[in-house]
Each structure stands twice: as C-alpha cells, then as structure tokens.
A and B are shown apart, each in its own frame.
Chain A
C-alpha cells in the first residue's frame, strides 16, 4: 500500500473531525455545571448525571429498550435460522421471491412502517402495547439477522451433515450438534446487529409506542422536541459510551467490516 500525501491526510483529518465532533460535543457538554447548554469551561461537574436519577422515566425507557431489543432480535433469529438454511442451501421455486420479501423492510421507510403498523394494530382491535412494538421491531431487524445467518449457511459443507446422518444421527441431533455450531458465528453476529438496530430505532417506534412502553430513543426524541438541556446530553453521553464499548468488543470479535460491509476479501 502506498502512503497518502499531505493533502490527503489534511482532508482525512477534517473528515474525522466532522464525523466525531457532534458525538464528542454531546459527551463534553454533559459535564457542564451550568443550568443550560454550555461547554464545561469552569470545571467538570457530574450534576447532570445525578439529575438522571430524578427522572425515573429515562431508566424505565432504557429497560424497555433493552427488553424490546432482546425479544425482537431473539424471535428474528429463531425465524431466520430455518429460512436461511433453506434459502442458502436448497434450490426451490420461489426462492428469489422469498429472499426479496424478507429483505424488503430495508427498502421501506421506517415512517411508512410505523404508520402502516399503527393502522394495522388499531384496525385489528389489538391496540398498541409492548407486544406491538416487539412485532414492529421484528420486521425491521429480520433482514439483518437473515443476512448474517445466510452468509454462514451458504458456505456450509454438506458432507459433514451427511456424515452425521450416516452415523445414525437423527434430524434434530444433526441440527443441534452439527449445523447449529457451524452457523453459530452468523447467528450470534446476526443477533447482535439486530439488537443494535432495534435499540436505536426511533422513527417507527414513535408511532407504535405507548406512554408505558416508550423506548429510550423515542423518550429522548420527544424530550428534545420540547427543549434541549444538559440532561439529554448526559443521557445521550451514557448511550454513546455504551455503544462505543459494544462497538469495540464487536470489532474485536467479528470485525466491523464483516458485520457492516459483508464478507469481503480483506
């Protein structure tokens, strides 16, 4: 690889500044001691982190978001594993059509999904509850789970499974002892990516949240609509730090490139 020239490096520095500035400014403003948005020029204060304690709704929303993300990504993975095994390894009529249907939520604006699901659940007489949120998030995260499980199920060596069957393994034993361990990296990374997608989703959730099941991004969004104060900065800063930790762990475990760009050559 050849080096970048000084001009390229200067451009790169500006882009890095552009990308990181808004994220850093949230984390810095969170430490202000003043009652309004400002950089902590007169010393760092944890005042606004303590202030979160007086607002139990943020903690409740955080809990809602965690449960919602865990439930929807688990259901997505359970549905995606058999589908990925069939689509990735078997030849059948309608295979392409199914794959397009399963990936189509990526093409549909989340706003449209939110409106459509709100109409669907109210018309169906189900009302809006925590379960409707789980259902909505399931639709949104399913393509991500399917994609990552597909990439591992395509490369699966059929001979190993045949060997298991010829040695007398039942279908279930074959799946549990041979197939599942082989596609496990895809299942785990698919679950994690789904979890993050669900945890960050805001546009669709705005439509199908109730006051009791408001997710953290929706709570932040609605709060910011009224006023922006250092409290949202401290909540967001915690969110950012948690995400960065997860990000670094993911990068160590799977490689960010494989997770986001797809299996490349490098």
Chain B
C-alpha cells in the first residue's frame, strides 16, 4: 500500500478561480440581454465581436506561453462583455475588435496574464479606443429604436480601417433630430439639459441614449456580493463617495451642479462601480484599502465629470485608482490579532458572554508585570511547592 504525504490542510474549500469568473459571467448575462433589448442587433453583434476578439487574443498569448491562465477560466469573457457594454452600441465592429485585442494584449498579457494585470483590461481597451477613435466613441444612438431587431445601426457595419458613416441621416429618416443620440451626461455638459433621475434609473422610458438599467446592474451586483464573488465594500464606497461629493457641490450651487441622483445614475458609474472597479486583481485586498480605493474612484469621477472637457470620468477614475492600489494596500495593512490598540487596553468587545474577572483589572492597576511567552525557559527546575 502506498500512502501520500502532504502538508496540512488536507481538505479544501470548493471555490475556484473558474467558479468565480463563471458566476460573474452568469450575472452579466441579464445585463447583456437588456443591452440587446435596448439596441437590437447591433448591440448583440458588438457583444459577440468584442468578446470573440478578446478570447482569440487570450488564446494566442496562452499558446505563446507568455501568460498564465487559459480561456477556460472565463476571465477573457468578462473583459469582452464589459468592454462591449462600455462602448456605444453602434460602435464600428472593426474598432470593437481592435479594442478587444488591445484590452487583452496591452492590459493583461503584457503583465503576465490573469492575476498580474495592474489595470482593468477592459478599461485599457476602452481608453485606447477613446484616444484613437474619439468621434466613433462619442456617437451614441437612441435606445428602443423601431425596427432595431431587423436592421443594424449604420455605423456598426463600417468597412474595416474606415471611419464610421454618419448616423445623422439615418436618425432623420426616423424623425429623430441629430441630438437624440447624445448621452444624458453629454446633454447636461454641453447643453445644460438635465435628465430625470427616475428615468435614468430604469433606462426604460423614451429613446434615451443610455446603457443598461442601473437597477438591473445593481441587482446582478447584489447577487454577486451576496454570494461573495465581489466585495460589497468597493461599490458601496464608490457610490457613497460620489454621491456625497456631488451632494456637497449641489448644496453649494444647485444651478451650476446637477443633483446627486443624476450623478449616480447617469453614464457608466453604476457599471463601473459594480463590475469594473471590483476586478479582483486590480483592487486592494485589505478591507480598509477597499474603502480608500472606492472613495478615491468616487471623488475622481465627480471631479472629472464636473471640471474636465469630457462628459464621462469613471474610466479614468478607475484607472488612476488601479495605479494607486499597491500604495493603498501598503498603507492599509490589517492589524494582526492582539496587536491593536484596543487589545492592549484589555477592553472587551461586542459578543462577549462573560465579564472579565474584576481581579484582573485591579491587578493591572496595581502595576503587576504580565509574564511574556518566554517565561517557560526561565523557569525553575521544579514546580513551586506551596
């Protein structure tokens, strides 16, 4: 009989990397379905093309041997879906494919694959296309267009390496003005038109150029947080900090600044807070660090949105916070058991069943020396006789 020798622990929890990633993909599917429901065929094709481009790039780098992990771990699918959700639905498909390639190649493979990336790969891809194709990424189309399940938004089918065709004529043919395609954030920024927060919350009313419903994303995120596939602290910190900052500015000047609910539910803040910022590899592992990281993202988002030339700021805020993550972790290391300030005072915490004996406190007050762990080696050779 042969027996195995291993080092303890000999049992293992059931959680695996594949399981975590698979659940994130499951939870993204309703969000993607809603996106397709809003924008029709173009959105569906955009999701598919970007995801397949991410998967092929991942496969290429895994084959090359330069990166760990495999396409079987579902992480490239998450990158692809999130990237597609953060792009306009009518984004030219060839540009989407480029975004996917850049996301995996520069955002992930360059650093060594899963777990080693410093920045969220999906946002690296989006940041690249934002710089390379500024016109295409700013071109949104209204949601719930009639006939969206039978025809493509014309810009989707742009010939590779060409600039997208204008959607203005296509919109005018359907009795929409050219401005119908602007996102609520862009409308507020450039025209001073404020959308109603309730409408933003569901994304269901009218032909707004918005992403999937924030409520749906929050529900899917709540499922993940409940199953502990993402840490609830990060979205809570982001939304709290963004809401608080926006509310303070709103209280200072309610003409210049929009109300905080508009700030929370417009643009990609909810998607970013729930799915992008909580990317495990690029967020801090320490509980305190998660609060700092989230607060930083919320603050930066509001500042970029209010003061910069860009309507949207979530992407840059998350990328900057990703860069700050190692530093945040370094200054927020957890306090080990028995090394905290509270423990030195001998103070009792919540959940205690018995009081400490009163003799203990008075003994400390009397200045008795507490023996350290080393006392055993300084002991006399025989037990004391009383």
Does chain A bind chain B? no
